[in-house]
Amino acid sequence: MINPIKRIFDILFSAFLLILIGWLIVVLIIVAAIDTGKGLFLQTRIGQYGKPFKIYKIRSMKVRRGTISAYGSFLRSSKLDELPQLLNILLGQMSFVGPRPDVPGYYDRLEGESRKILELKPGLCSAAALKYYNEEMLLVKQKEPLKYNDEVIFPDKVRMNLQYYYNRSFFGDLRIIFEVVVFRL
């Protein structure tokens, strides 16, 4: 079910932010292009109703080497590499708040009640994204990172995203956005 208030907010706020900081996004992309060989990175993610879409990110890895550059590490840790997703929001592929879009092989394979998550537009931020803000660092510390993700992190994200599904509201979304802004500053 499409919430018209949420969609109008997404359009107006993403357009406002793109106008306000579009220049910064362009500068970050140019510097990334100099640093990595390409500035923008498109990756297939699973969207609403399980439909794949291309997510926009600023490239953080060297094209030929497959290593994260120092600049790329800064972009990732600050989450600035995700600013181009404002365009995904404006285009209606994402929302400001919703489950973070994952690569194929996770949300598209959910079963039972958990599939309700696919009814939601993926979001730039969520309660689960706040909890796992430093997910990369958490995984690096694990003996078996993929197993830890599959058995601990992903199931917890599914639980949190189902909780969001059943309790979502416009004011709840504003609270999550506020928490993200406060958490990052």
32, 72 in Cβ contact below 8 A? yes
DSSP 149: I
40 has which bridge partners? 58
pLDDT string in tens for the chain (185-residue length): 568 999 999 999 999 999 999 999 999 999 999 988 889 999 999 999 999 999 999 998 877 777 888 888 899 888 999 999 999 999 999 999 999 999 999 888 889 999 999 999 999 999 999 999 889 889 999 999 999 999 999 999 999 999 999 999 999 999 999 999 888 65
Could you give the CA distance from residue 68 to residue 12 in angstroms, rounded to a whole number?
34
Question: Residue 77: what pLDDT?
Answer: 86
Query: What per-residue confidence (pLDDT) applies to 61?
Result: 83
Query: What gap in Å lies between CA 107 and CA 66, rounded to an integer?
Result: 26
Helices (H), the chain: 4-36, 70-78, 85-90, 127-131, 135-140, 145-148, 154-167, 170-184
How confident is the model at residue 70, as a pLDDT? 87
* pLDDT at residue number 185: 55
pLDDT at 184: 67
pLDDT of residue 1: 58
Which letter, b or e, does each residue of 140-156 get, where b requires 16 or more Cβ atoms within 10 Å of its Cβ? eeeeeeeeebeeebbee
Specify the length of the chain in residues.
Answer: 185
Helix 4-36 / helix 70-78 crossing angle, nearest 10 deg: 170
pLDDT at 60: 86
- Number of structural domains found in the chain: 1
Confidence (pTM): 0.92
Angle at 136 between CA 113 and CA 55, to 5 degrees: 65
**In terms of residue numbers, what domain contains 118?**
4-184
